[in-house]
Structure 1
């Protein structure tokens, strides 16, 4: 099964058939909304609207752990996400797509791991997005859309919901970072902890404040987001149709050798909570 996390506009644009809603309970609360599962091109697709059906969750308030856990529980192995971002570089104007291969975490108030309360897991995250899915998405973009799409780049993730100050934006540019948004962290970290492939397609909606704020910034963002959604729809449709059956990456075994706590020292309640994620590695 392939999971998709993004805005409702993408889901509504995909021609899913035989849809159903799954009310998935998780130890980390409820997902942003019931998970919609449907069929497309012979594949089962599970969709979660990141901010809720009515965009009621701010970037800080999104139940990231519940969303990822719910997809894992349903059997999802690969997650494709979409994010609206601002551009930090001249070569990425609005309505450009960027498939990042790195992020820089500037968030402060979000639970960012499944593992706590008596179990310590040191997860490798040097390459936070699945390189194989990234390449597949880039190939799909070239085949299925006229949008300008770039593979690689750094997504700096800020807490939000406010945009950056001009000083912050200029500093991010000086670091050589490419796009700025509010939602790839901790989503990418949690997907790796759940041993799922995870990649995101970011759609540039506006220039950062470094280039001068728009008089109607939200209006500009929404206009460009709508154009990006159409391009992302074509990309995702082609990517799903041509997705290889087997995963040719290390994401499926990402937790191997990462549990630092002896099995007999992990509280029973904690073991029950994380069993779906790491049970095979902490069996007595």
Structure 2
């Protein structure tokens, strides 16, 4: 059997680090949104005993370092499956090390595909329990849509879906190490705490203007991304309702009600800022979408 899945990126409409835990992880408060930028992950059962991976991007590891490989291994161990020979093909469109959960999305897609291929019939909650072992964003990427994520990211609560709008994502030509970003928080702390209740009210009201006004990411207080200021200025000059950095960065996104405004902002950013990726998309209601099943 072969399963093909679109694995969607995410943005953080709000990200607050609440505290460092005794186990070294961090308690978080995040309003997360799936967006229409996606990788396509194909998982096929093969003969043998190996997990193999192929990818259209050269600098992506194709061994056990890849989160897709880790996801498959975790799934097989959780379900005590011994015939673990599969091939995973990844067509990447989500930028790497961008704060958009590209790797986590791929891992989520593998778990969802294997649940179908091996007829394990696990619930989303059970799939998330496997996913959180390999990455804090994987449970969200399995479920997707618009969710409040707490704990290390595994405690997911539905909130009202985001209204249709246009999201411009711009990634500076650099990456940010998430572990290093959390280390900076541990060393320096934060100077301001986002208005979490205000954001929840805005989300539940589905008010794009208020959501945009409440967007905040504490990583912006200590993660240095020099291009961020210029990108935000261009987005605001082209009528973005709000702008924010996603995850630990460096990707900056803007919310627009007009696609034309988003297009103008995109072109201006490409012309004047050193970015590796700029894409316009819309909110989506799923983290993973099965698009083809072949027996």
Shorter chain as denominator, the TM-score bin is under 0.3
TM-score (norm 2): 0.22
TM-score (norm 1): 0.22
